[in-house]
Amino acid sequence: MDRGFVDKVPTVKIGDKIRLIRAADPNLGIKPEEIGTVVDTSMSKVADLEGLRLIMWIRWESGKETAIVGGMDLFEIL
């Protein structure tokens, strides 16, 4: 198991399954323990943070699709 902590972002690939542990944004609408599939990734600047961050678009089993940010949101690759 590999977890995405601040300053330690695991290598994720399109098609990987992840489990959300904690979202930095409480209004994300996804609850801890939800499982989703990585459908896209990119490196991008995130407001108020230095450097580039990994942005992962996730299609959750609930049907929602949201982005999570490496180094901010806590997740586990299954």
Tell me: the pLDDT tens digits for 15-73?
A: 999 999 999 888 888 999 999 999 998 877 766 666 677 889 999 999 999 999 887 88
- The four Cα atoms 64, 69, 72, 78 give a dihedral, to 10 degrees, of 70
**CA–CA dist 2, 47 (Å, integer):** 26
**CA–CA dist 54, 38 (Å, integer):** 12
- C-alpha 43: how far from its chain's center? 12
Residue scoring higher pLDDT (70 or 76): 76
pLDDT on residue 53? 75
pTM score of the predicted model: 0.77
Quickly tell me which residue has 């996730």 as its tokens: 58
